[in-house]
């Protein structure tokens, strides 16, 4: 079946993102060091994030609220106002960090956009993700932008039907097995994993190594060749 539409994840597929989360987590650990050790704090913030996903969704704003909640919990309400202010400042820095496309992304998108209709499919805060796309200088490569609350099979099927001939004629590429690969395959699409060296634990899942519509690639530059082989 010819592939006409290619979905692309944004964070850590097109540009750096998890790097800034990791730096903020380290700063968070430093700020709360008087109340809890780093290992325990990591478990607490992970639990709080997952608990709040259904309420705040994905993105830096929800992460900042989860940091504040965790700080109050682990300190039993004794965290100084100055520390809370610094946590808020760290959250603002995450929102304002420079958008740096990953190496080779611009060149790969030039090749891919000449052959396929590109649709950016990402989770997160609407305003923040739109701002990052605008700042990246990559927006002109995309025919559509879909910012969703969760990546599920039915979401992919709906998007690929809206932008093309359905999921059977589409492929999805990204750095998350849980969000970019498994639900796209379930929808009937092709899926390519393009790993990033940092992965949020929530996005981890077993690789579908034996799936005929799946491939693990080393970079976005390998996508054109793989897509030409499966169509």
Please, what are the averages of pLDDT over each run of 10 residues along the chain (231 residues)? 91 86 90 94 92 85 93 95 95 86 94 96 86 91 93 96 95 94 96 78 72 93 92 69
pLDDT of the residue at 1: 62
pLDDT of the residue at 11: 87
What pTM, to 2 d.p., does this model score? 0.84
Residue range(s) of every CATH 1.10.150.240 domain in the chain: 18-96
From 118, 186, 178, 122, select the one nearest 154 (Cα to Cα): 186
**CATH class assigned to 18-96:** mainly alpha
**Encoded tokens for 213:** 């519509």
pLDDT of the residue at 155: 96
| Contact partners, residue 99, CB within 8 Å, separation at least 6 | 15, 132, 135, 136
Handedness of CA 39, 97, 70, 12 (dihedral sign): negative
φ and ψ of 32, to 5 deg: -105, 10
pLDDT of the residue at 26: 92
Give the span between the Cα atoms of 170 and 80, in whole angstroms: 51
pLDDT of the residue at 199: 62
Q: Domain 5-16+99-230: which topology?
A: Rossmann fold (3.40.50)
pLDDT of the residue at 208: 83
pLDDT of the residue at 106: 95
Three-state SS string over 147-209 comes to: EECCCCHHHHHHHHHHHCCCHHHEEEEECCHHHHHHHHHHHCCEEEECCCCCCCHHHCCCCCC
Residue range(s) of every CATH 3.40.50.1000 domain in the chain: 5-16+99-230
Helix (H, G, I), strand (E, B) or coil at 87: helix
């Amino acid at each position: 079946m010819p592939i006409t539409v290619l979905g692309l994840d944004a964070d850590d597929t097109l540009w750096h993102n998890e790097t800034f989360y990791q730096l903020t987590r380290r700063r968070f650990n430093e700020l709360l060091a008087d109340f809890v050790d780093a290992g325990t704090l990591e478990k607490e913030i992970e639990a709080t994030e997952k608990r709040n996903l259904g309420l705040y969704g994905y993105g830096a704003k929800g992460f900042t609220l989860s940091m504040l909640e965790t700080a109050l919990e682990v300190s039993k309400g004794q965290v100084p106002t100055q520390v809370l202010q610094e946590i808020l400042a760290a959250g603002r820095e995450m929102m304002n960090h420079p958008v740096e496309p990953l190496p080779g992304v611009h060149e790969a998108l030039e090749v891919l956009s000449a052959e396929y209709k590109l649709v950016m499919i990402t989770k997160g805060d609407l305003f923040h993700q739109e701002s990052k796309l605008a700042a990246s200088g990559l927006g002109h490569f995309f025919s559509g932008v879909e910012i969703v609350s969760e990546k599920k099979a039915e979401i992919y099927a709906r998007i690929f039907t809206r932008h093309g001939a359905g999921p059977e004629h589409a492929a999805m590429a990204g750095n998350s097995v849980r969000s970019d690969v498994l639900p796209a395959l379930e929808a009937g699409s092709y899926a390519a994993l393009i790993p990033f060296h940092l992965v949020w634990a929530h996005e981890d899942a077993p690789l579908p190594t034996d799936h005929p519509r799946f491939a693990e690639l080393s970079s976005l530059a390998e996508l054109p060749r793989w897509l030409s082989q499966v169509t």
